[in-house]
Amino acid sequence: MFNGKWITAGALCNNMHTLFEKRFELGKFNTAIIRITADDYYKLYVNGAFVGQGPAPSFSFNYRFNEFDISEYLREGENEISVHCYYQGLENRVWVSGDNICGLIADIIIDEAQIICTDSSWQYGVDKSFLGGEPFGYDTAFPENRDMRIALSAPKNAVEIPCPHSFAKVAFPALEAYEISAEPIKSGGRYFYDFNQEYICVPVIRATANADGARLILRCAEELNEDGTPRFNLRCGCNYEEQITLKKGENLIEQYDYKALRYIEIICENAELAELKIRVQHFPFSENSQEIRTDDERLSAVWRLCKNTVLLGAQEGFIDCPTREKGQYLGDAFISGFAHFYLTKDSLLLKKAIYDFGDTLQFCGEFLAVAPCAYKQKIADYALLFAPMLLKYYKLTGDEEALEKLLPVCNSINAHFAEFENEGGLLANVDGDWNLVDWPDNMRDGYRYNLTDGKERGTHCVINAYYAYSLKCTEEIKRILNLECDEKATKIISAFNRVFFDEKSGLYIDCEGGSHSALHSNILPLAFGLCPEEHIKTVADYLENRGMQCSVYMAYFYLWALCNAGRKAAALRFITSDGEHGWLNMIREGATTVFEAWGKEQKWNTSLFHPWATAPILIINEHFDDLIDK
């Protein structure tokens, strides 16, 4: 794949920024391509111009790389390639970091004849101007407090080591990146910027200091305080206030890690701000992305809100939020991944997500809920959505190869949970994987079952609904592939209805031996096609009368259940509801991207950019074909 050598710096530490450089001469040429990847991450510059960044987070045995056409950046004569590599060192949901692997590999191909590869002739310097601090969110990112007076360390020749990775077969698309500016409101040394909506981006600042030691205070925010100042201590748990000490004269401060923000405030002390831009980043999408046809302005507003979130929120994976976690959770991707496909008709990022989750078995021997990263978290509900996700992906793309390669993952997941089957075939005492049901926990509609810290005991409805659906979808995959299957799903569905359906109330109950019927216990049997025909009406009546008393995540399954029961008008009514549990409530509270909850105060640490809340995109595509603008 690469002819170059894996190069690295001599020593390694957390939050390490290293600049690798190569100078070379070129004669006349027509085309130039660079193939490149790094660990944990890189940003590529050619002759001082930003070209791109990557790679997409990956496990070492299926490591992603990028290719860029750099013809327009090179020139006859002397050229310089600079690669800003970063090693974070934290075991979180972002990358497979904390593994003591850092470095770079690249090939530069000029007119189809390779002339430059990474090797020990490349030089590096360590940038110690990044001072770090207490990490943001769930150890997600280090703050970028800087001291611009600290120069790059003296150049040294790079160290060649054996390549630590096996690479994917083809290059993966790099993020699209572009700069946006806004007019500031200036008051003394204070500059305030409103970019009119929330973005995932990095600030790029140019400032002039009157003397060494001048200072900028950078504050980024998703919302404003009551007094109109930026709320830089975000409600989701990230403190977006950073201090930058300047050297005398001109300073270019280009932040490395992305933030989610709408507002920026900069306080200048003995310095002047020359320019501020934000470099927005997201997975590439066409300007001709999907739209709907409707005269209902409420529906249009909800669609625009969700679409904006899906398109901007798709990074090198379907992250759950760009602030606190920055990770790709399967449950989130089950919604935002398919929403992204419907909007763009591009299945590449969705395919990567599915393979990433499948690869967790090879990574650590267990199926993980968030991938690809170093953080090992298991969520039962999400694991049991893998087979449905794979099957749905196949039905939309016809990718039979994915079914063949990933069916063993479905079998492994089902086998894992089969270990918890009781005599009747239902799952009981599933105490090693988090039984989510819904999140936050105050959105579980009083679901009566002990769901505390993985110590669940007994037999409850939601986990068994997921299990039955996983078996059902796995068997359908086997039939597509002309493989034998044991028809176990039919037996489990029969046991599910026998134990959890209450003939007296005509509803599903939360747990074996109980009497309470939460919304969630009745959503999933209808959504997953587990409910017998004769019981659909009573269950659907209950769902419609109770309303959307669930989280934004479970809202997709709720609306799906109503549509499956022939209640499409009700589903559309809830999508455009102006109640507290609705997308219009987010818009009333100033949302330009969907929230983690229905309102800012409905969760103690609400993220204001959370693509798992984009169910209307899926529901409209899957059940309201007449609304799609073809």
Given a cut of 90, is residue 374 above it in pLDDT?
yes
Answer for the pair 296, 576: CB distance below 8 angstroms, yes or no: yes
- Token digits of residue 451: 């769901």
Global pTM value: 0.97
Query: Distance between alpha carbon 598 and the CA centroid of its chain, in Å?
Result: 19
Residue percentage of the chain with pLDDT more than 70: 99
How far apart, in Å, are the Cα atoms of 89 and each of 96, 164, 513? Answer: 9, 16, 48
Q: Which helix (DSSP H) or strand (DSSP E) does residue 204 occupy?
A: strand 190-209
Q: Quote the pLDDT of residue 1.
A: 84
Rounded CA-CA distance 471/343 in Å is 29
- Token digits of residue 568: 């499409």
Instruction: Give the number of other CB atoms < 10 A from CB of residue 483.
Output: 12
Q: Strand ranges (DSSP E) for 210-258?
A: 215-221, 241-245, 249-254
Q: 343, exposed or middle or buried, with CB in 10 Å at 0-12, 13-18, 19+?
A: buried
Q: Quote the pLDDT of residue 630.
A: 75
- Banded pLDDT at 11 (limits 50, 70, 90): confident
Rounded CA-CA distance 198/607 in Å is 12
Question: Per mean pLDDT, which range of 15-29, 451-465, 471-485 is the poorest?
Answer: 451-465
- Residues 417-432 as b/e (b if ≥16 CB within 10 A, e otherwise) read beebbeeebbbbebee
Question: Per mean pLDDT, which range of 28-42, 436-450, 494-508 is the poorest?
Answer: 436-450
* Beta pairing class for 123-126 and 156-157: antiparallel
Q: Quote the pLDDT of residue 38.
A: 98
Which three-class secondary structure string do you get for 56-69? CCCCHHHECCEEEE
pLDDT digits (tens, 9 = 90+) for 222-251: 999 999 999 999 999 999 999 999 999 999
Q: Which has more confidence, 433 or 44?
A: 44
- Token digits of residue 65: 């790389």
- Banded pLDDT at 84 (limits 50, 70, 90): very high
pLDDT digits (tens, 9 = 90+) for 509-546: 999 999 999 999 999 999 999 999 999 999 999 999 99
Q: Quote the pLDDT of residue 267.
A: 98
Given a cut of 90, is residue 85 above it in pLDDT?
yes
How is 338-397 classified by DSSP, letter by letter? HHHHHHH---HHHHHHHHHHHHHHHHHSS--SB-SSS----BHHHHTTHHHHHHHHHHHH
In degrees, rounded to 5, the angle at the alpha carbon of residue 329 between the alpha carbons of residues 96 and 623 is 150
Rounded CA-CA distance 517/473 in Å is 26
Q: What is the mean pLDDT of residues 200-213?
A: 97
Q: Quote the pLDDT of residue 451.
A: 62
Given a cut of 60, is residue 455 above it in pLDDT?
no
Q: What residues are paired with 119 via a beta bridge?
A: none
Q: Quote the pLDDT of residue 449.
A: 82
In degrees, rounded to 5, the angle at the alpha carbon of residue 234 between the alpha carbons of residues 243 and 326 is 90
What residue type is 468 in one-letter code?
A
pLDDT digits (tens, 9 = 90+) for 375-430: 999 999 999 999 999 999 999 999 999 999 999 999 999 999 999 999 999 999 99
Given a cut of 80, is residue 454 above it in pLDDT?
no
Q: Quote the pLDDT of residue 452.
A: 60
Rounded CA-CA distance 451/575 in Å is 29
Given a cut of 70, is residue 183 above it in pLDDT?
yes
Q: Quote the pLDDT of residue 115.
A: 85
Q: What is the mean pLDDT of residues 312-321?
A: 97
pLDDT digits (tens, 9 = 90+) for 544-562: 999 999 999 999 999 999 9
pLDDT digits (tens, 9 = 90+) for 128-175: 999 999 999 999 999 999 999 999 999 999 999 999 999 999 999 999
pLDDT digits (tens, 9 = 90+) for 275-295: 999 999 999 999 889 999 999
**Residues sharing a CB contact under 8 Å with residue 560, sequence separation 6 or more, in sequence order:** 527, 618, 619, 622
Given a cut of 70, is residue 456 above it in pLDDT?
no
**Secondary structure letter of residue 4 according to DSSP:** S
